[in-house]
Chain A
Amino acid sequence: MSAFLSPFEAMLDKLFLPARVRAIDAGGDWSPERVEIEQSGFLDALAPDMALPFAEVAALWRAIGRRAAPLAIGKAMIGRSGRDPDTAQPVLLAAAISGAADRVLDMTTAYAGERSQFGKPIGRQQAVQQQLALMAEEVVAIRMAVQLAADCDWPTAERAALAKAVAAMHAPHVASTAHAVHGAIGISAEHDLQLYTRRLHAWRLEEGGETAWSIALGRALLASDENALDWIRNVLF
């Protein structure tokens, strides 16, 4: 793990507690946080003179998503890179989805262990366990697609499409399973679950959902003359 991830996470944890996220969602001013982030130097993570490996920056973006912190932080990093934002933005969104999905899975697993019905935690019910297991599979698939896409100097169009297609195709089911397990409390405004599920849906669609990015990926594959496996190995791995 990058030496930069822990301090970045610590900073976000201090600045973007759920109450603060709610205030910002309500249109509140976050310029004090902006100033602190600016001073931290992290906005230059992709700047030419400092540039961290892209994979490490994607890990920072996952941390943003996990905390429902403003994506503007990641967008500023891309803006200062001087490089093609069009292939980095989808990876940012996918990484943010990955972080939020991790968070939602953790919340849902914890809730299933705490909430009791029929005299035992609902997480002891096989029907609930089966749903959580599938949710975990999807969360890992998203994370892996982001790691794969980010394992490069700068993402290609195909890597960007891969990350966003996989993240977007799984995001709604991760959100809906989280709500199914949380029950009515998860629908309430005062429960924090909605801070993350709301973003899963929004980030899924921002700059195109799974169909838009699958079309991009499919067009590239169909235009090549390689078989699918070779194309995937050569272009994405």
Chain B
Amino acid sequence: MRGIAIEAAVSQTGPRVFDTLTLAAIPPEDEALRAQVRALAREAVAGMALDRRARSWMGFDPAFSRRLGAAGLLGLTLPTEYGGGGRGPFARFVVVEELLAAGAPVGAHWIADRQSAPLILNYGTEVQRRAYIPRICRGEALFCIGMSEPGAGSDLAAVRTRAERTGDGWRLNGQKLWTTGAHHVDYMIALVRTSGGPEDRHAGLSQLIVPLKAPGVSVRPIRDLAGDAHFNEVFFEDVDLAADALIGEEGQGWAQVTAELAFERSGPERIYSSHVVLEAWIAHLRAVGRTDDRAAALVGGFAARLAALRAMSIACTARLAAGESPVVEASLVKDLGTAFEQELPLAIADDLAAHPDESADTELVAALRYLTLVAPSFSLRGGTREILRGIIARGMGLR
């Protein structure tokens, strides 16, 4: 029988899918950063309402970012010769975990620290490295990501924003969309077409650093369903850029973006987006003394999932530390992690609604309302659930 013949072909001991993700530990010297970060994070969120803290990496506070920079907590993975920490991904894991768990406003430096600086280090010229990385490490140069466009969301290769060579540089025309932070930050690293057309797909794409104060750039904030304005439309009309706006190689934008997205997807931020309400709810259960089986089962189930996800995220960090670009592994952790982040506010709100007599704190209720509305974005930003599962399927040899 067909099925049986196939079964016989499956080796008893053959290679196992995703064996690359295996238990790893945070080195003690990196763990040692925790107390310092925690103190800074506590100071930053003191007196801040829970629903503000729930915004975390949408929270924009350049002064806090500069404080982190002054404390040497930005650019941890970057070489010291460019002002970085000269440490590794585990140091960044500890710092990011503490900042997110506290709900600290990390949005100002978030993109620059996470992906722009590593991108510039990997693909930039020496001049570009010296021009941007030290300022990023001080929290003084803030970046956003120019990927999505009206006709290019998940299908990123469909970008139509175009840069054409002029005598001494580039002229940029087009539009980016859903660009988080563009109304506040200094630079965008934009994925644009420098040759060919949409039919050429991954060929002909390049990345340019665009100063957002340049003439011809206009930024229009878009209000979101929670009333915030964190993302934007960005228009480019004959924006003239110097030749060294090009980052990396002309035509290699796709490969660069793929590597950049591995940084974007592999951090612990894909576990902790709803963390502040988990902590507040547990504090609430303790305060009202509700420790029955039903509450304990919910709490324990979340703790178990969080522990497994944290172990997976640390395992992914170990691949980064080994110098790999764990594209598939990061997708796997992000997809499972965002499902967890999305479920937390729904389940906690349902639990509280079943106990109206407990009169839960209004801040907790507001934070739950906020997270419930924005949670769908957790599995959109940085690659949709469907795109990530497609990447995983490719890693499994299915496509």
Report if B37 contacts A (CB, 8 A). Answer: no
Report if A218 contacts B (CB, 8 A). Answer: yes
- Our pick among A126, A140, A228 for the contact of B303 (Cβ within 8 Å) is A228
With A66-B12, A151-B23, A219-B291 given, is the CB distance from A227 to B279 under 8 Å?
yes
CB-CB < 8 A to B335: which residues of A?
Answer: 133-134, 137
**Residues from 2 to 55 in B contacting A, C-beta threshold 8 Å:** 2-4, 6-7, 9-14, 16-18, 21-23, 25
- 1/0 per position for B84-121, CB-CB distance to A under 8 A? 00000000000001000100000000000000000000
- Our pick among B11, B286, B303, B397 for the contact of A109 (Cβ within 8 Å) is B397
Report if B389 contacts A (CB, 8 A). Answer: yes
CB-CB < 8 A to B298: which residues of A?
Answer: 214, 218
- Our pick among A102, A110, A188, A227 for the contact of B282 (Cβ within 8 Å) is A227
- Our pick among A210, A219, A232 for the contact of B301 (Cβ within 8 Å) is A210
Report if A44 contacts B (CB, 8 A). Answer: no
| Contact B390 A140, beta carbon cutoff 8 Å | no
- 1/0 per position for B139-173, CB-CB distance to A under 8 A? 00000000000000000000000000000000000
| Contact A148 B389, beta carbon cutoff 8 Å | no
**Residues from 348 to 399 in B contacting A, C-beta threshold 8 Å:** 386, 388-390, 392-393, 396-399
| Contact A137 B307, beta carbon cutoff 8 Å | no
With A137-B392, A141-B312 given, is the CB distance from A114 to B6 under 8 Å?
yes
Report if B295 contacts A (CB, 8 A). Answer: yes
Nearest Cβ on chain A to B310's Cβ, whole angstroms: 7
- Our pick among A102, A139, A161 for the contact of B304 (Cβ within 8 Å) is A161
Report if A165 contacts B (CB, 8 A). Answer: yes
| Contact A109 B1, beta carbon cutoff 8 Å | no
Number of B residues contacting the other chain (C-beta, 8 Å)?
62
With A123-B398, A124-B399, A229-B279 given, is the CB distance from A215 to B297 under 8 Å?
yes
Report if B58 contacts A (CB, 8 A). Answer: no
| Contact B300 A221, beta carbon cutoff 8 Å | yes
Report if B299 contacts A (CB, 8 A). Answer: yes
| Contact A237 B301, beta carbon cutoff 8 Å | no
**Cα–Cα, bound, A229→B244 (Å):** 44
**Cα–Cα, bound, A126→B398 (Å):** 10
**Residues from 93 to 117 in A contacting B, C-beta threshold 8 Å:** 102-103, 105-107, 109-115
- The CB with the most chain B CB atoms within 10 A, among A9, A210, A227, is that of A227
**Cα–Cα, bound, A213→B22 (Å):** 24
| Contact B396 A185, beta carbon cutoff 8 Å | no
CB-CB < 8 A to B311: which residues of A?
Answer: 144-145, 147-148, 237
Closest residue on chain B to residue A195 by CB atoms? B7
Report if B309 contacts A (CB, 8 A). Answer: yes
| Contact A141 B398, beta carbon cutoff 8 Å | no
With A109-B17, A134-B389, A141-B309 given, is the CB distance from A221 to B303 under 8 Å?
yes
- Our pick among B282, B297, B307 for the contact of A162 (Cβ within 8 Å) is B307
Report if A91 contacts B (CB, 8 A). Answer: no
| Contact A214 B397, beta carbon cutoff 8 Å | no
| Contact A141 B308, beta carbon cutoff 8 Å | yes
Nearest Cβ on chain B to A129's Cβ, whole angstroms: 4
Report if B73 contacts A (CB, 8 A). Answer: no
CB-CB < 8 A to B295: which residues of A?
Answer: 218, 222
**Residues from 321 to 337 in B contacting A, C-beta threshold 8 Å:** 332, 335-336
**Cα–Cα, bound, A161→B308 (Å):** 12
Report if B293 contacts A (CB, 8 A). Answer: yes
Lowest 10 A-B CB distances belong to which pairs?
Answer: A218-B300, A218-B296, A217-B300, A214-B300, A129-B393, A218-B299, A133-B389, A133-B392, A185-B3, A147-B23
Which residues of A approach B to under 8 Å, CB–CB? 9-10, 12-13, 18, 66-67, 102-103, 105-107, 109-115, 123-124, 126, 128-130, 132-134, 136-145, 147-148, 151, 161-162, 165-166, 169, 182, 185-186, 188, 190-193, 210-211, 213-223, 225, 227-229, 231-232, 236-237
Instruction: List, sorted by A's number, 26 A–B pairs whose CB atoms are closer than 8 Å.
Output: A12-B12, A18-B7, A67-B12, A113-B397, A114-B6, A128-B398, A132-B392, A133-B332, A133-B393, A139-B18, A141-B305, A141-B312, A145-B308, A161-B300, A162-B308, A165-B300, A165-B304, A188-B3, A190-B4, A191-B1, A192-B7, A214-B299, A218-B301, A219-B296, A228-B302, A237-B310
New A-B contacts (18) at CB < 8 Å, excluding given A109-B17, A145-B311, A215-B300: A9-B13, A66-B12, A102-B17, A139-B17, A144-B315, A147-B22, A185-B3, A186-B3, A211-B297, A214-B299, A214-B300, A214-B301, A218-B299, A222-B286, A227-B279, A227-B282, A231-B303, A232-B306
